Structure 1
């Protein structure tokens, strides 16, 4: 980890923290919630040792990157704008992109908006979600399916989820999310919150150490969770703004990887969409779909050796 360098870059009106290591073609890593650049530590070391320049920012709202207060500052357009400015600052015309969770969502939209800047994409956990203007607003739809205690619904009201996190304690929040392996929906009870307190004991899996947790905790203690929660609070605004892209396809080479215990993979209709041909219609240059058995949502940390190989084997073709 000592070889990873850190710097601040001015992009799109904010200051962004960037971690990087290596020389060669750039691989841009995009993290999810509640994560940081640190989520890609294994992949960065692996690819930098094989002739690539691994670059992993803290996305807007996270870690040492600026966190605008308003949820309206967290649309796909603003976040993709940050990343295009970052790519420009690296002196690159094109980069490889690897995304997970919210980072995967943002990666799809980089490819949708600016396919000229992406050589190829490896996306983890979250499939492409095409625009359906006839559907209800997304959060309303999720509430109708899962109820008010579904985590995305609980995240909507400013201050409410922050209160849940404060009562549980930052370490408990990080451990609860990163160790979640139930394929069903993540619910946050209005009575019990995340079901724990700062004194709750949570046994960590072999792939997640207390040292890892402490790094996340140090940054979220400093920054808070609001920046990350604002991604969820901008969902309906994104739905409205994305209307012009109805029917648009992602036209870059893609490899998609997901765990069979991933809550995103187990949402109603997702498996059918991925495997019955519609995914391939929306992403016509989809080369491969990999479903890893007995693997949860945080796949790049849970199975780093396998994910490292999948990424390298795919991008070295280009």
Structure 2
């Protein structure tokens, strides 16, 4: 059984779920998710002998959500996790992240190898700092309909998602970023991020009505701005990470993704998957689960748990 509590970290109050005892493992969720997204991992990893902690990340759920957009940079989000290790009374941890939580995990390992002794990323490959700011690079390629660009306008995506939170969460989890989804990384003319609302969005078998109700209730309470502000720092993060141009993550690492996830097959992810070992010389395993989509730790919990437990036992 997991428990929950609030901790003061890095100037905000952070809600965490935790289970087990042993070496510390931190699980960082992405957008638009919550610590609840790790419900299948909390018990499994705890039973394997680890102290597992999953926070609601900055701006999400019950964790503090600063008003300022520039309070969501990669320095803030990794700083939260550094402070969380200390708040838990530990000096070191293994960090695992999914979606936006993966860049947090990768950068935490890059910035503070003294604290984060091993690292895992789900669905989002490790960082490869390109020659120019990402949003500017998209524009220079003539791309104007990528979802990162849509998320930049303050209030636009919030209005779309908050007008019917029930539909939003069904739409997000029905397929997510997959090759056969009504949603796409590239917006269609006349539609927002969620695509054509006339297309039914049945829930997949791996998420229950109780699960979706939990996400809906949380986002009705919090709104979506905090999580969207992470996207509004994409170019700022490029500027801030200039000192780590070409840097490698040397700790033991693992990468897990679904073969049908547009994040790893699409515009940005495919090349990073191919070149992953360049950034991760300590890569122990690259697991691409055939037929799986973006919400990998929920969709393929048993397979993900087995891979993570094997990696954690080897790396701890």
Q: TM-score, normalised by structure 2?
A: 0.93
Which one of the candidate residues 141, 157, 164 is aligned to 1:161? 157
Q: Match of 2:49?
A: 51
Q: Please say if residues 27 and 96 of structure 2, whose CA atoms lie closer than 8 Å, have aligned partners that are also in contact.
A: yes
RMSD over equivalenced CA pairs, Å: 1.8
Which residue of structure 1 lines up, in the alignment, with residue 134 of structure 2? 138
Give the paired residue count.
310
Query: Residue 273 of structure 1: CA displacement?
Result: 3.8
SS in 2 for 1:316: helix
In the other structure, the counterpart of 1:316 is 313
Identify unmatched segments of 5+ residues in structure 2: none
Q: 1:45/1:145 Cα in 2 relative to 1: closer, same or farther (>3 Å)?
A: farther
Q: Which residue of 2 aligns with 1:173?
A: 168
Query: Whole-Å Cα distance in 2 between the matches of residues 53 and 146 of structure 1?
Result: 47
Deviations 1:18-55 (A, max 9, x none): 11111111110000000000000000011112221110
Could you tell me which residue of structure 2 aligns to residue 304 of structure 1? Answer: 301
Contact 2:248 2:279 (8 Å CA) reproduced: yes
Deviation per CA, 1:244-265, whole angstroms, max 9, x where unpaired? 1111111211011111111111
CA contact (8 A) 2:95 2:120 kept: yes
Distance in 2 (CA, whole Å) between partners of 1:158 and 1:180 is: 23
Q: Is the 8 A contact 2:256 2:286 kept in 1?
A: yes
Higher mean C-alpha displacement, 41-50 vs 266-275: 266-275
- Asked if structure 1 preserves the Cα contact closer than 8 Å seen for 2:124 and 2:264, the reply is yes
Equivalent-residue separation in structure 1 for 2:8 and 2:35 (angstroms) = 17
1-side partners of 2:86 and 2:27: how far apart?
15
Q: Who is 2:31 aligned against?
A: 33
Give the 5 Å matches for 1:239-250.
Answer: 239-250=238-249
Structure 1 pair 70/269, CA: closer, same or farther in 2 (3 Å)? Answer: closer
Q: Paired residue for 1:92?
A: 90
Distance 1:140 1:250, change over 3 A: same
CA contact (8 A) 1:29 1:97 kept: yes
Instruction: Report the equivalent of 1:10.
Output: 8
Do the aligned partners of residues 164 and 190 (structure 1) sit closer, same or farther apart at CA in structure 2, a change above 3 Å counting?
A: farther
- 1:123-179 per-position Cα deviation (integer Å, ceiling 9, x unaligned): 1111112223x32x2112234557333211110010011111133x11221122222
- Asked whether the equivalents of residues 251 and 285 of structure 1 are also in contact (C-alpha less than 8 Å), the reply is yes
Which segment is superposed worse, 182-191 or 148-157? Answer: 182-191
Residue 291, structure 1, aligned to residue 288, structure 2: yes
* TM-score, length basis structure 1: 0.92
Three-state SS of the structure 1 residue aligned to 2:26 is: strand
